A and B are shown apart, each in its own frame.
Chain A
Amino acid sequence: MSDALLMAVLDALLPGDATLPPASRAGLDVAKLAAPAQPLLARIDARAFLAADAAGRSDLLRAVAQSDPVAFRECLDRALAAYYQAPTVLAVFGWRSEPPMPQGHELIGDDGPALALLDTVRDRGPLWRR
C-alpha cells in the first residue's frame, strides 16, 4: 500500500504531459524518496487518496500542504530534485544529463551586429557625473 501511495503522490506532484513522463515513469530511484516522503505519507489517508481522481488527489495534497508545510516541502523538494535531474526529463527539456564539465556549452551566433549598436551609445557622450 505504501509503495502505491508513494507512486500516486509523486504522480500527483509531477503528472507529466503528452511528452513529459509522470514521475512514476521517469526512471527515478523511488527507494531513495521513500524515507523523506514518509512524514507526508503518514498524514495522508491512503485509501481515500488512491480512490480519488486527479483533481481529488490535488485537493488532498493541498490540504496536507497546509496542515504540515514542512513535511510537504521536504517531500516536494526531493521529488523535484530526482525528477528534474532524471535523464529522460532533461531530454524533454532539451538539456543533456552529463555534467556541465568538462564539455561546457556553446553560446550560439554572431554578436557583431549587436555590438555595432553600441555606436549609438558612444555617440551620446559621457553619462557620468564628475
Chain B
Amino acid sequence: MAKEIRLQPVDVVVVGAGLGGAAFCARLSERAPRLRIACLERGGWFQRADLPAHRRDWQELMMSSWATSPNLRQRSGASARSADYAIDDSQSAFKPLMWSGMGGSTVNWAAHFPRLHPSDFRLRTQDGIAEDWPFSYFDLEPYYDLNDEAFGVAGLAGDPAYPPKKSRRMKPLPLGRLGRRAAAGFDRLGWHWWPVDAAINTVADGARGACNHCGPCQQGCANGAKSSTDITYLPRATRNGVDLRPHCVVREVVIEAGRATGVRYVDASGAEMLQPASVVVVAGNGVGTARLLLASGVASPALGRNLMFHPAAYVRGMFKDELDGPVGPIGCALYSHEFYETDPARGFKRGVHLQVTRENPLLMQAARLEPAWGGEAQRRLREEFRHSMAVLVLAEDLPEVHNRVVLADRMEGDGLPGVRVEYRLSEHSRRSLDFGLDRAEEMLRAAGAYRVVRVPLAPLAGWHLLGTARMGSDPGSSVTDAQGRCHAAPNIIVADGSLFPTVGAVNPGSTIGALALKLADDLAREAA
C-alpha cells in the first residue's frame, strides 16, 4: 500500500473550483492576504480550442461527450473533459447536471443570471411555509453587486420586479426575432417582462470576446464571452497566491474530536496526500458536497436532505414567421415575473419564473420528437425548425426531508462511496408548474403561436442542486449556521448552493457567488 504523503499545513483548503469555491478563494485571498490557501479540484482545465463549437459534429457532441449530464457523458464512452462520477438518478424526477473541472458548472451553464427576490429570503415570515434565510436580500445585496462586477453582467437596469440594481455593465443581449415576438405577447397581455441579466459579454472585455451568438453555450464558450470562474475568479485567486491544484480528488475531510484537521486526497499521479488545514471549505454543489461530508462521517441529521432543484417544464409555440432557431445564447432573451410573488387565489404559495429561451439545434430537436423517425417526424421538424419558441417554467421547490442525496453501498472508481439522488415532485410543485404552463401557453398564443405543445416535466433540467447542507440555527434541521459553518464541526465551511434554505424560482448562480463572497468576508474578519 502506497504511503500517504503529509503536506505542509495550510490555513484554508477549499474543495471545488466551481462557482462557490472560486468566488470564495478570490475573495478570501484579497481580504486576508496572509492566509495560505489551497484549492483542490477533482477535474482539470478545459481548452477553448477543443470545444465542440469549433467542430462540424458539434451537435452530436452536445448529446454525448459534451452533454450536460455527467451520466450521459459517461455513457457515451468518449473521453470527457469533466472528471465525472456516476450518480444514480433512477429515483429522481430530475437528472442532475453538472461539470467537474476548473470552473465547475459555470463551464457549461447558460449564464442566465437573475437574483433572488427579497421575498425569497422570508418564506416563513411572509407565507408561513418552509424557512426564512438567516439574513435578508439587503444583507446580501452588496455581494450581489460585487459578484455582478466579477462576472460582467449584460442587462438593463430599472426592472420593477426587483429593488433597484446598479446599472448593468453591458447592454442586454439582443432580443432577436424570437424575443421581439415574445415581448409583443407579454405586452398584449399587460404582463411584466424584462430582458434577462446574463453573465455574457455583449461587448469585448479585455481578452474576452463579445458574444457572437454562435449557440452552444452549454458546451463551453469558445471565445470567453460567457463568464465562467476559470476566467473570472480563478485567475484573481491565482494572482493572490492561492495554490490551485487540478485533478485532485478529495476522498475525506479528516475530523478529530469534532473539528476538521485537513483533507485526504489523491492527486493526478495517483499519490495519496494528506493536506492539513485549519479550515476546510467544501464547495462541490448539492450532490458533491453532501457526498463528501456524508462519506467523511459528518454527523448531522439534515445533511443530504431537503434537496431542491427548480421544477421545470415548458411550452413550445409554433409560428408561421421565421424566428431565430438555435442562434444566440440559450438562456436569453427575456423573462416574466408577473406571477413570481404569492397570490392565494392560485391555490399554491410562491410563484413561477417564465423564461423565453432559444430553440435547440436541429439534431437535438429531431431526437426529441416522439416518434423521432419516419415521414411524419420529418414533416414536423420541417414545420418547427426556426419557427418555434420555448417558454420555460421554473417553479419554486420547497424543502422536503425525503428529497435527498444518499450514499450507495458500493465504492466508486474515485475512491468515494457511490451516490444516489432521491427526489419526488411534490403536489405543490405540480400545481405551480401547471399554473405556469397555462400562463406560458396564454403568452405564446398572444404572441401569435398557431399551435402549442406542452411538455409537463423537463427531467434533463437538473442544474440547480440546492439545499442539502442548509443554513439555520437548529442543528437538528439544518447543517450549518449563517456563516456556512457546520454545526457538527465548526471549522468545516460549506460555500455553495447546498446552503440554500429555500431556492426561489430563479437560477441560483448569482446567489451562489454572492453568498460565497459573503462567507469569505466572514472568515476573513475572523482571521484578521
B473 to chain A minimum Cβ distance, whole angstroms, is 23
The number of inter-chain residue pairs (CB within 8 angstroms) is: 161
Cβ–Cβ contact B174 & A128, under 8 A: no
Cβ–Cβ contact A107 & B174, under 8 A: yes
Q: Assuming the A-B contacts A17-B378, A99-B58, are A105 and B119 also in contact, with contact meaning beta carbons closer than 8 angstroms in the complex?
A: no
Classify chain A: how many residues form its interface, as a range: 35 or more
B242-265: contact bitstring with A at CB < 8 Å (1 yes, 0 no)? 000000000000000000000000
The A-contacting residues of B in range 105-154, CB under 8 angstroms, are 117-119, 126
Q: For residue A113, which residues in chain B have a CB less than 8 angstroms away from its CB? A: 180
Check if B411 is an interface residue, CB within 8 A of chain A.
no
Q: For residue B215, which residues in chain A have a CB less than 8 angstroms away from its CB? A: 100, 105
Check if B231 is an interface residue, CB within 8 A of chain A.
no
Classify chain B: how many residues form its interface, as a range: 35 or more
The B-contacting residues of A in range 90-124, CB under 8 angstroms, are 90, 93-95, 97-109, 111, 113-115, 117-118, 120-122, 124
Cβ–Cβ contact B363 & A15, under 8 A: no
Instruction: Tell me the dominant secondary structure on chain B's binding face.
Output: loop
Check if A47 is an interface residue, CB within 8 A of chain B.
no
Q: Assuming the A-B contacts A100-B215, A105-B215, A127-B192, are A85 and B57 also in contact, with contact meaning beta carbons closer than 8 angstroms in the complex?
A: yes
Q: Assuming the A-B contacts A99-B54, A120-B187, are A104 and B117 also in contact, with contact meaning beta carbons closer than 8 angstroms in the complex?
A: no
Q: For residue B13, which residues in chain A have a CB less than 8 angstroms away from its CB? A: none
Instruction: Tell me the dominant secondary structure on chain A's binding face.
Output: loop
Check if B366 is an interface residue, CB within 8 A of chain A.
yes
The B-contacting residues of A in range 37-93, CB under 8 angstroms, are 58, 61, 76-77, 79-81, 84-85, 90, 93
Cβ–Cβ contact A125 & B180, under 8 A: no
Q: Assuming the A-B contacts A109-B177, A129-B117, are A101 and B362 also in contact, with contact meaning beta carbons closer than 8 angstroms in the complex?
A: no
Cβ–Cβ contact A101 & B214, under 8 A: yes
Q: For residue A95, which residues in chain B have a CB less than 8 angstroms away from its CB? A: 325, 362
> Can you add 13 more A-B contacts, CB < 8 Å, to A80-B363, A107-B174, A118-B193?
A16-B378, A17-B382, A85-B60, A93-B362, A98-B56, A105-B214, A105-B327, A105-B328, A106-B327, A108-B177, A117-B184, A125-B160, A128-B119
